[in-house]
Structure 1
Amino acid sequence: MNAALIVALALASAPVPGGSTSLQQLVERIPEVVDDGGGIGTDAQELASRIQAHGAAAIPYLLPLFREESEPIRDFAGYILRDLEGLTEEHLNALIQARLHGDGWIPPAIARIGTPRAIAFLVEDLKDEPQTQSQLTHALVIAGRKAAALLAEPFGAAAPVHELYASAVCEVFHEMGSNSGPAVAPLLRVATGGESLLENQAHAIQVLGCIGPSAAAAVPALQALRKNAALRKTVDGALMRMGPAAATPVFVEHLRTKPTVYLLRDLAELRERGKGAGSAVVALLKNEDPQLRFAAARTLGYIQFTAATDALITMLGDVRDWRMAFAAAESLGRLRATRALAPLKAVATKHWAPPVRDAARKATKVINGKETYPAGNPNFAFEYFAGDRMRFDQQASLEPALVAAPDELPEASFGPLTYESEVRSVGVDGERRTPIKQAPQFGLRVSNGHLVGASRGEWGGELMHIPTDAAAKKILDANATGIHKVGEHIVAVTGLSHIVTNDGMLYRIVPRDGAYVAEPWRVLPGAPRRSGLLSDGRLFVSCLGADVVITPEGDMRLATPENISGTQEQAPPAPPRRK
Structure 2
Amino acid sequence: MSFSKSPLIVIFVLLTATGATHADEPASLKESIARIHEVASAKKYYDLSEKEKALIKEISEIGPDALPHLAELLKHDKRAVTVVAAEAIEEIARGVDSIDAKFLPAILHGLDNDHSGLPNVLAKIRTKKARVEYLSRYLSDRTSPGNQYQNGFSWYGAEFLPSIVETIRSDSGLSSSDAYLLGAALRNFPEKDGKAAAQQLMKLVEDRNTKIQTKRAVLTMIGNLGPPALVVEDRILTIWENQQDFRSEAESALVGIRSKKTGVILADQLKSKPDLLLLRDIAEVGPAAESAGTQVAELLDHSDWELRLGAARTIGFIGYHGADARLVELVNEPSDVRLNWVAAETLGRLKSKDALKALNDAAKKHWHPAVRNTAKTAVSKIESNSNYELKHHKENFPFEYYDYEYMGIELPADYHIPAVVDPSSLSARQEAHPELIGKLTYPSEIVSYGASDEEEQKAEQGDDVIIAVNEGNMVEHRRKISVTPDVGIRVPKGWLLGSDRGEWGGELVFKGDDSEHYKILEENIDGIYKLGERYIAVTGLSHLTLNDGIIYELKFVDGKWRAERWRALPGAPRSSGQLKSGDVMVVTSGGGIVVLSANGDFRMAANTPKPERSTK
Do the aligned partners of residues 43 and 163 (structure 1) sit closer, same or farther apart at CA in structure 2, a change above 3 Å counting?
farther
Do the aligned partners of residues 200 and 496 (structure 1) sit closer, same or farther apart at CA in structure 2, a change above 3 Å counting?
same
Q: Is 1:207 paired with 2:221?
A: yes
Letter in 2 for 1:481: D
- For residue 155 of structure 1, what is the aligned residue in structure 2? 168
Do the aligned partners of residues 28 and 287 (structure 1) sit closer, same or farther apart at CA in structure 2, a change above 3 Å counting?
farther
In the alignment, is the contact (CA less than 8 A) between 2:496 and 2:511 conserved in 1? yes
Letter in 2 for 1:514: G
- For residue 240 of structure 1, what is the aligned residue in structure 2? 255
Letter in 2 for 1:76: A
- For residue 477 of structure 2, what is the aligned residue in structure 1? 432
In the alignment, is the contact (CA less than 8 A) between 2:241 and 2:247 conserved in 1? no
Letter in 2 for 1:547: I
In the alignment, is the contact (CA less than 8 A) between 1:12 and 1:27 conserved in 2? no
Aligned to 1:410, which of 405, 408, 429? 429
- For residue 19 of structure 1, what is the aligned residue in structure 2? none
Q: Is 1:391 paired with 2:408?
A: yes
CA displacement, residues 157-185 of structure 1 (integer Å, 9 cap, x when unaligned): 23244555434422332232452444446
CA displacement, residues 31-78 of structure 1 (integer Å, 9 cap, x when unaligned): 599895658969967985x767xxxxxx67755653356643465345
Q: Is 1:102 paired with 2:119?
A: no
In the alignment, is the contact (CA less than 8 A) between 1:506 and 1:523 conserved in 2? yes
CA displacement, residues 476-515 of structure 1 (integer Å, 9 cap, x when unaligned): 2222232222112121221223233232211111232232
Q: Matches of residues 475-494 of structure 1 in structure 2 within 5 Å?
A: 475-494=520-539
Do the aligned partners of residues 392 and 232 (structure 1) sit closer, same or farther apart at CA in structure 2, a change above 3 Å counting?
farther
Q: CA deviation at 1:526?
A: 2.7
Name the CA distance, whole Å, in 2 between partners of 1:157 and 1:221: 27
**TM-score of the two chains, using structure 2 as the length reference:** 0.75
236-245 or 193-202, which deviates more: 193-202
Name the CA distance, whole Å, in 2 between partners of 1:453 and 1:399: 19
Q: CA deviation at 1:455?
A: 2.5
Q: Matches of residues 40-55 of structure 1 in structure 2 within 5 Å?
A: none
Aligned to 2:188, which of 175, 180, 188? 175
In the alignment, is the contact (CA less than 8 A) between 1:504 and 1:523 conserved in 2? yes
Name the CA distance, whole Å, in 2 between partners of 1:351 and 1:428: 47
SS in 2 for 1:102: helix
**TM-score of the two chains, using structure 1 as the length reference:** 0.79
Q: CA deviation at 1:537?
A: 2.4
In the alignment, is the contact (CA less than 8 A) between 1:95 and 1:110 conserved in 2? no
In the alignment, is the contact (CA less than 8 A) between 1:496 and 1:504 conserved in 2? yes
In the alignment, is the contact (CA less than 8 A) between 2:424 and 2:489 conserved in 1? no
- For residue 361 of structure 1, what is the aligned residue in structure 2? 376
Aligned to 1:557, which of 587, 600, 603? 603
SS in 2 for 1:101: helix
SS in 1 for 2:322: helix
SS in 1 for 2:110: coil
Name the CA distance, whole Å, in 2 between partners of 1:44 and 1:372: 45
Cα RMSD over matched residues? 4.0
CA displacement, residues 78-98 of structure 1 (integer Å, 9 cap, x when unaligned): 5435553587xxx43x03223
- For residue 401 of structure 1, what is the aligned residue in structure 2? 419
425-434 or 29-38, which deviates more: 29-38
Do the aligned partners of residues 45 and 226 (structure 1) sit closer, same or farther apart at CA in structure 2, a change above 3 Å counting?
farther
Q: Matches of residues 297-446 of structure 1 in structure 2 within 5 Å?
A: 297-369=312-384, 372-375=387-390, 377-378=393-394, 379-386=396-403, 390-395=407-412, 396-406=414-424, 410-411=429-430, 412=433, 413-428=436-451, 430-446=475-491
Do the aligned partners of residues 178 and 77 (structure 1) sit closer, same or farther apart at CA in structure 2, a change above 3 Å counting?
closer
Name the CA distance, whole Å, in 1 between partners of 2:386 and 2:199: 46
- For residue 467 of structure 2, what is the aligned residue in structure 1? none
Q: Is 1:456 paired with 2:501?
A: yes
- For residue 56 of structure 1, what is the aligned residue in structure 2? none
Gaps of 5+ in 2: 1-12, 20-24, 453-474
Letter in 1 for 2:312: A
In the alignment, is the contact (CA less than 8 A) between 1:138 and 1:172 conserved in 2? no
Q: CA deviation at 1:142?
A: 3.7
Name the CA distance, whole Å, in 1 between partners of 2:600 and 2:204: 58
CA displacement, residues 532-555 of structure 1 (integer Å, 9 cap, x when unaligned): 432222222233443221111100
- For residue 558 of structure 2, what is the aligned residue in structure 1? 513
Percent identity over the alignment is 29
CA displacement, residues 380-435 of structure 1 (integer Å, 9 cap, x when unaligned): 12222116851321223233332415576723444434433322222435233333
CA displacement, residues 135-158 of structure 1 (integer Å, 9 cap, x when unaligned): 544334444334324302322323
Name the CA distance, whole Å, in 1 between partners of 2:446 and 2:56: 51
Name the CA distance, whole Å, in 2 between partners of 1:186 and 1:237: 18
- For residue 292 of structure 2, what is the aligned residue in structure 1? 277
Name the CA distance, whole Å, in 2 between partners of 1:151 and 1:15: 36
SS in 2 for 1:391: coil
In the alignment, is the contact (CA less than 8 A) between 2:534 and 2:553 conserved in 1? yes
CA displacement, residues 420-456 of structure 1 (integer Å, 9 cap, x when unaligned): 3322222435233333333433333334543333223
- The number of residues matched between the two structures is 540
Do the aligned partners of residues 146 and 531 (structure 1) sit closer, same or farther apart at CA in structure 2, a change above 3 Å counting?
closer
Q: CA deviation at 1:212?
A: 2.8
CA displacement, residues 8-38 of structure 1 (integer Å, 9 cap, x when unaligned): xx9984599xxxxxx9588578659989565
Q: Is 1:503 paired with 2:526?
A: no
Name the CA distance, whole Å, in 1 between partners of 2:598 and 2:15: 82
CA displacement, residues 90-110 of structure 1 (integer Å, 9 cap, x when unaligned): x43x03223323267676777
Q: Is 1:220 paired with 2:237?
A: yes
Q: CA deviation at 1:248?
A: 2.0
Q: Is 1:548 paired with 2:566?
A: no
Q: Matches of residues 186-205 of structure 1 in structure 2 within 5 Å?
A: 187-188=201-202, 200-205=214-219
Name the CA distance, whole Å, in 2 between partners of 1:445 and 1:135: 56
Name the CA distance, whole Å, in 2 between partners of 1:136 and 1:374: 30
Name the CA distance, whole Å, in 2 between partners of 1:457 and 1:233: 39
In the alignment, is the contact (CA less than 8 A) between 2:406 and 2:571 conserved in 1? no
Q: CA deviation at 1:471?
A: 3.8
Letter in 2 for 1:368: E
